[in-house]
Amino acid sequence: MMTSYRRRKLAGQAVIIFVLSIMAMTGLLVIAVDGGSIYLDKRRLQNAADAGALAGGDAAENLPLQTYYTAHQVALNEIYHNLFPGTTVPTVPAGAAATYTTTAFSGTYQFVLTANVANLAQDTYTAVVNHAYTFFAAQALGFSSSTCTLAGTTTTNAICLQSRARALTATYPFALILLDDQNTQYENLQMSGSNGKLILHDGGTKGGAFSNESMTAGNGSIYFNPCGQSGDLWAVNESLGGTANIPTHTWGYQGDSLGTYPLCTIATLHTPYPKPTVHIPFPSYPEPAVTGPTYTLPLTASGGTYYLCPGTYSGTLSESSGGSTVIMYPGVYRFTAPIAMSLSGGTLKNATAFDYPPPGAAVLINCTGYSFSPVPTDLGLIIEMHPPDCTTNGFKVSGTSNLNFRPSPKYNNISFYIETAGPYPGFGCSSSIPAGTHEVNFTGQANLNIYGAFYGPGDNMFFCGNGAGYGVGQIVAWTMQICGNGTIDEHYNPVPTSRISEGWSSKRVTVSLRLTRSSNNRNPQWGTTAP
């Protein structure tokens, strides 16, 4: 039985317990209020960063490539729309650099916008959104000393929150890209012979041809098909001779809507023409690793059908018979012989589903360990060629050869990858002008149905035969000459798609919108690997 003394001793403990409970509950409330608010703030910051990156990345690739401020303005508009709807958006200055930083609301918000159109792997546009989040109730638990400093402005009772988003874009929406930048006003595109033709199809408002220096049509002709809707010509440092020559040899340029190819007017309305733009830095697609064994013997296809499997080929592939067919199974091929391919007849093509499995009596080359079952859903391949020097035509096509290739997104939709002979600039050819290799040389009446890209950033390509067929996708070269009866048909349709690659904070985001310039399998996509 509790005595009155003991009861008096325990009196008031309930009040202490109640007070302690109230303090604990207050702490939980503070955590709930500020913790929940921080989470919601991160969400809205991330949404703003995502929207800004997508919009800025799309605008950064608009033509002509001359300024950054337009892309930054578009990105900032989207950020403000997400964070401060109805608030007037500040104007980005016309001289804004590739990275632009600005603040809002007395320095409590900071936005860092970066357009990287000199990325070696793929162009990007990054939006970083920072916010000095002020605690609502945390001072009750002693958080009042926390600070956040943005762009020199310190906010007390706050922490720094940050969200990032980076949009992966394609690298430049041009059908023909000529990169020589070492020889001032050098005519990177040269055409000789009144029958020489460059026909640029399907480009929409993009597409067309780009030169880091100058270009001239000589006695040849440049056509856009359909008329007035398939791109234009751009040059960084056009010569007076090219300026005078190009307009009178270019038909159906962007904005010419008076007829249908070939009934298009010449480009007399543009002065100067090609249109001025800015320098494109030297790109570098990653070279896919070889996926098979090495075959050292020369291979001569002189009738019949031959089946090749991926790997390294150190001997020459020759094909001269009109009755021969060489079928290449999907994968990575690398040719290292001084004369990699010498084709003057017959057909060279990638395999189709009808070539699985190969016939029992088939001539199989380099196929040890290669699996023919199941049939791959992606039958595309890439052919890599290593130039041994600067003057040898390692990929020589003449006669009536037929080339039929469809590419794979796994290899950036490149069909022919011409390696460089040395580092940029120079490529190991510094004693020659314009310094590049001479790997690709087309003559005769080859029938080309190449839906992927010719990628040879350090190669001087020659197309001098009376080509036929569908044509080719994008061409990336050091320089290009079209001579004699040379005809180049380029089908390049930079259909826009897009995605956000990274949201560095509370989430990772994949968005399908419009940004990447080459969503179909005709053209290389720069950076197709998912994050």
Q: Report pLDDT digits (tens) over 417-461.
A: 999 998 888 888 888 889 999 999 998 888 899 999 999 999 999
Instruction: Report yes or no: 48 and 79 within 8 Å, Cβ to Cβ.
Output: yes
pLDDT tens figures, 298-309 = 999 988 999 999
Domain boundaries, the chain: 13-171+497-516, 176-276, 294-449
Strand partners of residue 103: 110
Decide if pLDDT at 7 tops 80.
no
Please report the pLDDT score of residue 294 as a whole number: 96
Q: What is the pTM of this model?
A: 0.71
Instruction: Give the tens place of pLDDT for each residue, 473-486.
Output: 899 999 999 988 88
Residue with tokens 């029938």, as numbered in its chain: 447
Measured distance CA(238)–CA(274) in Å, rounded: 7
**N-to-C CA span, the chain:** 73
Q: Is the preceding peptide bond at 388 cis, omega within 30 degrees of 0?
A: no
Pairing mode, if any, of strands 109-116 and 99-104?
antiparallel
pLDDT (average), residues 337-363: 94
And the tokens for 256?
């010419």
Evaluate if residue 322 carries a pLDDT over 50: yes
Q: 511 φ, ψ to 5°?
A: -125, 135
Distance of CA 242 to the CA centre of its chain: 29
132-136, 266-270, 448-452, 502-506 — most confident range: 448-452
Determine the Cα–Cα distance for residues 368 and 33; give it in Å rounded to an integer. Answer: 66
| Confidence check: pLDDT of 469 > 80 | yes
What sign does the dihedral 130-135-138-140 (CA atoms) show?
positive
Q: What is the pLDDT of residues 70-91, one digit of tens each?
A: 889 999 999 999 999 999 999 9
Q: Which pLDDT score is estimated for 177? A: 93
**Mean of the pLDDT values across residues 114-141?**
74
Res. 64 pLDDT band, cuts 50 70 90: low
> What number is the average pLDDT over the span 99-128?
84
- Render pLDDT for 19-30 as a digit per residue (tens, 0 to 9): 555 555 555 555
Task: State yes or no: pLDDT of 530 exceeds 60.
Answer: no
Distance (Å, whole) CA 225 – CA 20: 81
Q: What is the mean pLDDT of the chain?
A: 82
21 CB-near residues (< 8 Å, 6+ apart): none
- Among candidate residues 105, 107, 127, the one with its CA nearest the CA of residue 116: 127
Neighbour count for residue 19 (Cβ, 10 Å): 10
- The string of pLDDT tens digits covering residues 366-404 is 999 999 999 999 999 999 999 999 999 999 998 889 999
